[in-house]
Amino acid sequence: MIPYIHVPDLKIGPMTLHPFGLLVATGVVLGTYLATRRARQRGLDLDKLNSFITWMLVAGFLGGHMLDQIFYHPHELVKRPWSLFLLYEGLSSFGGFTGAIIGAVLWKYFESVTWLRIPVLGFTIPKYRKRQVAMPILPFADLILSVFPVAWIFGRSGCSVVHDHPGMKADPGTLLAVAFPDRNTLYSLQKATGIELVNGTYPQFDLGLLEMMFTVVLAAFLALTWSRKLPTGTYVAVCALAYAPVRFAMDFLRVRDLEQADPRYGALTPAQWLCVALFVLGLVMVRKVRALQSSGIDPLDLVAAPAGVAALSPPTDVPVT
């Protein structure tokens, strides 16, 4: 079995840094860096990419919490409607994915422009208006998903170290089960100041850890293709078709007999229903990629950097073939 890991909060003076937040932030920063690097390699407009990422991240975090409250904690939402806006109270991965998609669609049709500039304070207040010409989503979405699994490793590592996705009990000696400790040991670990590995007596699946392991494999596979120029949309299709069935299967390992167990809708969790939709999206994307190849049209050309910009920022990484 896998030892139970405890990672304490990091205290720097009066400030406390939580391991989950640190790992998630690391994933966001690394993912943004890799996406920007690949965009520069492929001669894409970095301003448009940064705008796309901003819309996607903001909507992703909003959706991650709001959809988590709506579908996973409906009774809590009825008692405390304002909890819908308390973003620190919980996140759902599929809620984040859904929010990111919504953000990407909004970015396609709307843009932010400066409404009021305040030089004294050093910031501007934006307003939003409909674009005269809709922007293509697919090129940037494909670019993001080519590096997203690398960032997602850190996100799921955060889930792993705080053990916020406990699964069903496992038989002793199960290879991928975690040796959870008893309550007394868990309580004593809260006082630990360093990283602790504990071989407890309660074998249980840790779904955050299992998904992190899968993501490492997927990220490594995609990274091997970064030096090749794959048809636009390939990464969207691969990620959807790879992730959906794995997540669908793993959700059957979620606890059922506890008060905090995920709700079921027609015997499936909300994430499993979204896995079905995601898999269908993957199939649609396969057809879309083939159609684009047959037409000879590459949507990537629509978001190329303005003439002269690419020359100012020459790629320094492995050239795309």
pLDDT at 19 over 50: yes
Give pLDDT tens digits for 37-52: 999 988 899 999 999 9
pLDDT at 314 over 60: no
Identify the pLDDT of residue 196: 87
Identify the pLDDT of residue 307: 61
For residues 155 and 192, which has the higher predicted lDDT (pLDDT)?
155
Mean per-residue pLDDT, 143-161: 94
Identify the pLDDT of residue 83: 87
Identify the pLDDT of residue 190: 81
pLDDT at 205 over 90: yes
Q: Can you read off the two tokens belonging to residue 286? A: 């396969």
Q: What is the DSSP letter of 165?
A: S
d(CA 111, CA 130): 6
Give pLDDT tens digits for 72-127: 888 888 889 888 888 777 778 888 889 999 999 999 999 888 778 777 767 778 88
Q: What is the sign, positive or negative, of the torsion defined by CA atoms of 162, 167, 168, 171?
A: negative
* Coil vs helix vs strand at 102: helix
What type of residue is 264? Answer: R
Mean per-residue pLDDT, 180-202: 86
Burial 129-163 (b: 16+ CB within 10 A, else e): eeeeeebbbbbbbbbbbbbbbbbbbbbbbbbbbbb
Mean pLDDT comparison of 57-66, 125-134, 212-221, highest-scoring range:
212-221
Percent of the chain exceeding pLDDT 90 equals: 53
Question: Which residues are within 8 A (CB) of 315 and not within 5 positions of it... i.e. 6 or more apart?
Answer: 40, 41
For residues 95 and 219, which has the higher predicted lDDT (pLDDT)?
219
**Do residues 294 and 202 make contact, with C-beta atoms less than 8 angstroms apart?**
no
pLDDT at 309 over 70: no
DSSP H/E element including 124:
strand 123-130
pLDDT at 8 over 90: no
pTM of the shown model:
0.85
pLDDT at 316 over 70: no
Q: Can you read off the two tokens belonging to residue 188? A: 């004593």
Identify the pLDDT of residue 320: 36
pLDDT at 1 over 90: no
Band of residue 260 on the pLDDT scale cut at 50, 70, 90: low
